[in-house]
Amino acid sequence: MNVTFAFDPEWLSVLTAPFMTNAIEAGLLIALAAGIMGYFTITRHSTFAAHALAHIGLPGATGAVLLGLPVSLGLGAFALGGALVIGALGKKVSEREIATGTVLAFATGLGLFFARLSSSASQQMQSILFGSILTITDGQIIGFAVFDVVLLAVLALVYRPLLFSSLDEQVARAKGVPISLMNVLFMAIMAGVITVAVPAVGTLLIFALVVTPAATASMVTRSPFAAIVVSCVLCLISIWGGLVLSAMFPTPPSFVIVTLSTLMWVVAKIVCGRKR
Amino acid sequence: MSETPVSPGTVAEHDAATDAVVLRNAEVRRGGRTIWSHGNLAIPAGTVTAIVGTNGAGKTTLLDAELGLVPLYAGSITVMGSPAGQNNGMIGYVPQSYIAGLDSNITARQSVILGLTGTRFGIHFVTREEKARAQQVLEFVGLADKADYRLNELSGGLRQRAAIAQALVGGPKLLLLDEPLANLDMASQRAVVELLARLNREWGMTIQVVAHDLNMLLPILTGAIYLLDGHPHYSPISSVLDSDLLTHLYGTRIEVVTTPQGDMFVTPDRTLEPKERDQNTHAAAEAARFHEHHHHIPPKENNR
């Protein structure tokens, strides 16, 4: 077994290849979506729901391959369906988490079942589970860009009520913030973010891209807006850093992306722990 | 009181003008079960009222009903002249779990500002007036020097004050607090009670506090709503301080004792105390005799 990381002297030419240009553009769009929503995911105590949504999307993704439809379409549809169900379950954590976890396990099993029904779906399985940022197409990038524009437009409209209801649901409800609407809206946007981020790192590693940079950002900042900006930057460092490093030392980009994200979190955790 | 005859209409207007909260035959049900019913009471404006009752008596539900968050099954609740839920902009609400924001990086100041701007849709920048308003309430609650600390860096008592500041920033006329003293040490409890007293005295704020332990609040209370046998009643504080009523209310023996610090409730429970502890208090002469007693028993036994 050979686990040495061979340095690729041709890495600069790899970085300028067309598929890498697509990956770099996609990375920017994914970092924006994941960085913004990661902060809300943490303040809403919905990190498990975010993780589960990716898995709930799995049978949608493999099912889409089976039917000859785009992977993102199936993934998005299933994630959105799961998001609306979890959103309707409300914020009573104990009940919601058990229901979410049960659906997560069932969906993953169903995803495997669909994948085994055809050889093409079986081949796609690996890239759905672990991501394939180097195979992102021009069409996907347009889709990501449209999603980011919609996300920014919606957030410009609901930023404060969404933040208020995330931080302090009871007071926000008393003040007239439509809590149920915020809940469903958050979950729906989350489904979109998952759909956008899965091609980068896959359903299994998505936590490290959507939640971890936001957690790191929360540790080092003192306002929601600063946390969101830093979270996007950390997410971007993870993805772009992952692309560059995996070109220099040929490794799966997903691996390097989640490693960078995790390293930054560990460093922040140690530094902030020392301050206390 | 007045010698001129008063028509019923005038009485109603009088109520609307001076009563902060009026319940008329109010009943709340949840899941088909009556939480409480036949709520008939009027809380005058400018008063400090405790809401007391056993666990599950519906104290928090009463706050929810006053906020219009729980539909009434019967009757009506009027808050500052309008049906419950229509005047929520004039109500400051501090819910029980002030752990809000603990997992976030938000500071006390941002939390207070969000109390002012959190309901607004669309893009708004925080104005200078809003920042000044937040600073004013932070100073009032004594958090000016800790305003830029994160909520999770503050002690429980200071977090409670931050939550009160958030409730105050909108300039409410009525402040509803759910168990504001729970899980606080004595000094923090005292600081919160002093803050409520100042709010009532200096700002003329009408305050309702859900509380388990009334002792800390007694000096500032004008009256209490007690949820007894499934019905909310209002009583001025002088009649609440009655051992039999309190015993009935809490379902455990409660005595009212007068101390140099004022009236206090105690819940004597002989069975929980260690056997060797004195179960009775004694006058000095009695105690001396008791002391003597101990010394004299052994020789007597030896004589036998």
CA distances for A23 relative to A5, A170, B20, angstroms: 22, 42, 62
What total number of domains does chain B contain? 1
Q: What CATH number has the domain bearing residue B91?
A: 3.40.50.300
Decide if B249 is inside a domain. no
Q: What is the pLDDT of residue A257?
A: 94
Residue pair A138/A86 in contact (Cβ under 8 Å)? The answer is no
Residues 6 or more apart in contact with residue B124 via CB below 8 angstroms: A160, B117
pTM score, two decimals? 0.83
Give the range among B17-26, B208-217, B220-229, B261-270 with minimum mean pLDDT.
Answer: B261-270
Q: Does A86 fall in a domain? A: yes
DSSP state of B107: B
Structural domain contains residue A109: yes
Identify the three-state secondary structure at position B172. coil
Instruction: Tell me what the mean pLDDT of segment B135-164 comes to.
Output: 91
Task: Read off the tokens for B286.
Answer: 């009695």
A92 located within any domain: yes
* Interface confidence (ipTM) of the complex: 0.84
The per-residue pLDDT for range A65-98, each reduced to its tens digit, is: 888 888 889 999 999 998 888 887 766 666 778 8
Contact A168 B67 (CB under 8 A): no
Domain count, chain A: 1
Contact state of B118 with A223 under an 8 Å Cβ cutoff: no
Q: Does residue B133 fall inside a structural domain?
A: yes
In a domain, B278, yes or no: no
Bridge partners, residue B93, by sequence: B176
Nearest CA in chain A to B126: A160
pLDDT recorded at residue B282: 47
Q: Is residue A29 in some structural domain?
A: yes
Q: Which domain holds residue B74?
A: 17-241
User: How high is the pLDDT of residue A204?
Assistant: 85
Give Cα B210 distance to the centre of its chain: 4
DSSP state of B271: G
- Collect all residues of chain B within an 8 Å Cβ-Cβ radius of residue A175: 88-89, 93, 115, 118-119, 170
Report chain B residues whose CB lies below 8 A from the CB of A152. Answer: none
Contact B187, B109 (CB under 8 A): no
Residue A187 lies in a domain: yes
What pLDDT, on a 0 to 100 scale, did the predictor assign at position B134? 94
* B114: contact with A, CB 8 A cutoff: yes
Q: For residue B158, tell me if it sits in a domain.
A: yes
Q: What is the pLDDT of residues A235-244, one digit of tens each?
A: 999 999 999 9
Higher pLDDT, B212 or B137: B137
Domain that holds residue A45: 11-204
| More confidently predicted of B215 and A230 | A230
C-beta of residue B63 within 8 angstroms of C-beta of residue B179: no
Is the residue at A6 inside a domain?
A: no
Domain presence at residue A20? yes
Q: Is B87 on the interface with A (CB under 8 A)?
A: no
Residue with tokens 């050979």: A2
Q: Is the pLDDT of residue B258 over 90?
A: no
Region B262-284 average pLDDT: 57
Q: Is A46 contained in some domain?
A: yes
The confidence band for A1, taking pLDDT boundaries of 50, 70 and 90, is low
Q: Name every chain A residue with its beta carbon within 8 A of the beta carbon of B121.
A: 157-158, 160-161
What does DSSP say about strands B223-228 and B231-236: parallel, antiparallel, or unpaired?
antiparallel
Give pLDDT, residue B296: 44
Q: Reply yes or no on whether the pLDDT at A34 is more than 90.
A: yes
Which pLDDT belongs to residue B228? 75
- Per residue in B79-103, pLDDT tens? 998 898 888 889 999 998 756 666 7
Tens of pLDDT, residue by residue over A147-199, are: 999 999 999 999 999 999 998 888 999 999 999 899 999 999 999 999 998 88
Q: CB–CB of A176 and B124 under 8 A?
A: no
**Cβ count within 10 A of residue B281:** 7
Is residue B156 in some structural domain? Answer: yes
Site of tokens 């500052």: B80
CATH for A85: 1.10.3470.10
Helix (H) or strand (E) run with residue B176 in it: strand B174-178
